């Protein structure tokens, strides 16, 4: 009866080893030499070791949201790219497939131009 659970035990042990072993190896092998450059402000513009309850600038969140929007735009292009060979192969859908992606990209371009004109992409 217990031999039926052995593969599950091995699966759990291998999963834990894959998760814990690289962290431990990095802890023991990596050099620990903090300097002023490593402890300087990074991305959000705040010092690395300050109060965690301080207020963040709204522009940081705006840049994060715009990054997610750009990421989603690319994600919506993947299905079109996956069926591109089928679109090109069919004579009846060749122009429709091209027109479809032109309309999608023009909508994205107008939205990005609007965000750029409003200064949403500027970091002061």
Number of domains in the chain: 1
Contacts of 87 (CB under 8 A, 6+ apart): 80, 93, 94, 96, 97, 98
Q: Examine residue 88 and state whether it is found in any structural domain, yes or no.
A: yes
The answer to the question of residue 87 being in a domain is: yes
Question: Whole-model pTM?
Answer: 0.48
Q: Which domain holds residue 122?
A: 55-124
Residue 18 lies inside a defined structural domain of this protein? no
On whether residue 13 sits in a domain, the answer given is no
Q: Is residue 20 part of a domain?
A: no
pLDDT in tens, 59-74: 777 778 888 888 888 8
Residues in CB range of 57: below 8 A, 6 or more apart: 45
pLDDT digits (tens, 9 = 90+) for 14-34: 999 999 999 999 989 988 887
């Amino acid at each position: 009866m217990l031999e039926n659970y052995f593969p599950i035990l091995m699966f759990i042990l291998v999963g834990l080893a894959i998760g814990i072993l690289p962290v431990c190896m990095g802890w023991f092998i990596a050099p620990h030499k903090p300097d002023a450059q490593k402890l300087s402000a990074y991305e959000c513009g705040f010092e690395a070791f300050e109060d965690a309850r301080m207020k963040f600038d709204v522009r940081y969140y705006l840049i994060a949201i715009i990054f997610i929007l750009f990421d989603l735009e690319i994600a919506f292009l993947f299905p079109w790219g996956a069926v591109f060979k089928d679109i090109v192969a069919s004579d009846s859908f060749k122009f429709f497939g091209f027109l479809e992606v032109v309309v999608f990209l023009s909508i994205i371009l107008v939205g990005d131009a609007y965000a750029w004109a409003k200064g949403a992409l500027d970091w002061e």
